[in-house]
Amino acid sequence: MILQAHLHSLCLLMLYLATGYGQEGKFSGPLKPMTFSIYEGQEPSQIIFQFKANPPAVTFELTGETDNIFVIEREGLLYYNRALDRETRSTHNLQVAALDANGIIVEGPVPITIKVKDINDNRPTFLQSKYEGSVRQNSRPGKPFLYVNATDLDDPATPNGQLYYQIVIQLPMINNVMYFQINNKTGAISLTREGSQELNPAKNPSYNLVISVKDMGGQSENSFSDTTSVDIIVTENIWKAPKPVEMVENSTDPHPIKITQVRWNDPGAQYSLVDKEKLPRFPFSIDQEGDIYVTQPLDREEKDAYVFYAVAKDEYGKPLSYPLEIHVKVKDINDNPPTCPSPVTVFEVQENERLGNSIGTLTAHDRDEENTANSFLNYRIVEQTPKLPMDGLFLIQTYAGMLQLAKQSLKKQDTPQYNLTIEVSDKDFKTLCFVQINVIDINDQIPIFEKSDYGNLTLAEDTNIGSTILTIQATDADEPFTGSSKILYHIIKGDSEGRLGVDTDPHTNTGYVIIKKPLDFETAAVSNIVFKAENPEPLVFGVKYNASSFAKFTLIVTDVNEAPQFSQHVFQAKVSEDVAIGTKVGNVTAKDPEGLDISYSLRGDTRGWLKIDHVTGEIFSVAPLDREAGSPYRVQVVATEVGIILAVVFIRIKKDKGKDNVESAQASEVKPLRS
């Protein structure tokens, strides 16, 4: 009965296939090696193939991995009677032979291969229901520290076995920020950028993640899924910048010298230093323990502080974390002697200068660190030549370097010049500096102006800067070419804006008054300028500058009426030749610097094509325009107030409205015409 039932259903099926495909050869034929693909989990009792017997064969026999599922009827009908399961056997290797009436093999056996195709009949399953792991604070984002792993018995080559991992929740989660991420394919768990920056074991040392895995690549509503729980401990990061290092310069100890260290969290890191300043000389190194060395003596006067970076990489050269900043401060030692300001320092002293008066200050330098004993200098006179009329005529202030007269006023007839040798010392070094002191005539004569009033001087406000507008002259009867006779002219009244300056010729003491800044009629039309003539050296006691050392002049600035100015020197307008008479073809705009009204008129409208509105500058056509007669048509516009200025206008007449054929016009020179 069962067999009959089978045959019945097989016949129906064959009919279906025959009508469906009309190809008998697809499911029936002679005995030969064949391969079939069949989905697992299908309804049983399905026909696979009908083998046809050739005499003398009368029956068929099936052997091989039938698993009691595959059956062949005596007549050659191959079918299976139970649902297949790919996960039990994915390929069945069968053999079929044809037998004669006596049961002797007359054909075959031939291999028949049944490939079982996968359906999604297995759920993914995590290998562990709970995972535990730990991660260092500040670990590099994306670097896996833990894997979760699920398996799915379905075919990994099909979506049925393709797994998709996802974090369902992170606990705790603050401000909705995810600190952890999972690779959706591999199940690798790592920190996010935020996690790398913000995780801190001091604040919260442990986290829990719920992770799901789905098959069908997570992309189907029919996916199977599983979840697992992950406990994560956050551990402290020992990859921390060390304290700033202080290193004494010019060290004579053998180098390299260890100055500090960095340590990666785990052994095996590759350390290196990065000099972002790109120094010509980078005197630091790091070894594979993370110990940092200075390799050469440092020089504070070359560079007083270094900042560089220590990097830890894994064996593939990938950074394990962010670089650490290493600060090295170079401490000063006294390794620089004081230096003199110049080979010889020259001062002048007047003959009758009084005891204690300052002669000048010697300022030596020291490259060692400022405001420390290493650069704190003191001064001492070690030699005076000549010793006339006696030695010890001068004093120097020990720390300030100021020279003073110690005993008496000097006389030029004793000697016109003294040479001093001055010892400048810091706590370890001594340097000799040389000072020359010239004794000069006393400054008992005041500069006297040749005249006290240089009169009225009228200048246009646009007079050029740098112009010399006046020469002035004072004379001084003191010894020539000394600070007692040299004259400096100052403007002491009438020029608070500093529009004028006075240069002095050092040979003649002539003063040249020049314009330094633009004159301005509107703010300073008349200025009463007062000069004072002075010496660089102070006057002797009892002598004073009097009215003869002052002179004046009156500067009268005249207004320059500036002509109107067009906003452009060349205006262009485009217009079609067929425009109606009275069409506006363009406009020009001029402005008067003095703000006066402007009247516009045309010049050179040879064809009488245009008119201009005198007030607005708008230009209109007054006749038919003809492109062939002249394009561009060139006219001038005159803008008038007190002065006159010209602009050139090109009117370009186009053939028709459609074609826009514009050439560029050259700006032509515009000349103001004064009336």
Ligand X SMILES: *[C@@H]1O[C@H](CO)[C@@H](O)[C@H](O)[C@H]1NC(C)=O
Chain residues binding Ca ion by CB under 5 A are: 334, 336, 366, 368, 374, 426
Over the Cα atoms of the chain, what is R_g?
54
The residue behind tokens 């040389």 is: 434
Closest to ligand X by CB, 35 or 186: 186
User: Does position 553 bind ligand X by CB under 6 A?
Assistant: no
Question: Residue 57 in contact with residue 101, Cβ under 8 Å?
Answer: no
Sheet holding 610-612, edge to edge: 584-587, 618-621, 610-612
Closest separation between CB of residue 425 and Ca ion, Å? 9
587 is an interface residue for ligand X by CB under 6 A: yes
Task: Give min distance, CB of 367 to Ca ion, in A.
Answer: 7
Query: Quick one: 33 or 392, whose CB is closer to ligand X?
Result: 392
Residue closer to ligand X (CB basis): 401 or 586: 586
183 lines the binding site for ligand X (CB under 6 A): yes
Query: What does 366 bind: Ca ion, ligand X, none (CB cut-off 5 to 8 Å by kind)?
Result: Ca ion
Beta strands, E only, 406-525: 417-425, 430-440, 448-449, 453-460, 468-475, 488-493, 500-504, 510-515
Q: In the sheet where 430-440 sits, what is the strand order? A: 344-350, 430-440, 417-425, 378-385
Residue closer to ligand X, measured from CB, 184 or 636: 184
Are the C-beta atoms of 663 and 654 separated by less than 8 Å?
Answer: no
Q: Which is nearer to ligand X, 589 or 636 (CB)?
A: 589
Paired with 312 in beta bridges are 271
The span of 60-68, 271-279, 397-405, 546-554 binding ligand X (CB under 6 A) equals 546-554
| Residue number, 372 or 568, with CB nearest to Ca ion | 372
Stretch binding ligand X (CB under 6 A), from 58-66, 89-97, 540-548, 596-604:
540-548
Among 100, 299, 414, 578, indicate the residue that binds ligand X (CB under 6 A). Answer: 299
Tokens of 192: 């996010």
Taking CB under 6 A as the rule, does residue 547 contact ligand X?
yes
Give the Cα separation of 61 and 99 in Å (integer).
Answer: 7
Angle (nearest 5°) at CA 344 between 340 and 348: 115
- Cβ-proximal residue to Ca ion, closest one: 368
Q: How far is the CB of 394 from ligand X (least distance, A)?
A: 13
* Nearer to ligand X among residue 125 and residue 270 (C-beta): 125
- Spell out where 249-374 has E strands: 257-261, 270-274, 284-286, 291-294, 305-313, 324-331, 344-350, 358-361
Which region among 81-89, 415-423, 527-535, 652-660 touches ligand X (by CB under 6 A)? 415-423
User: Closer to ligand X at the Cβ: 14 or 210?
Assistant: 210
Residues 519, 557: contact at Cβ < 8 Å? yes
- Choose the binding region for ligand X from 12-20, 283-291, 502-510, 543-551 (rule: CB under 6 A): 543-551
* Residue 351: exposure state from Cβ atoms within 10 A (0-12, 13-18, ≥19): buried
Determine, following the binding rule CB under 6 A, whether residue 436 of this chain makes contact with ligand X: yes
Residues that bind ligand X (CB under 6 A): 147, 149, 151, 183-184, 186, 218, 250, 299, 335, 344, 385-386, 415, 417, 419, 436, 446, 455-456, 546-548, 554, 567, 571, 587-589
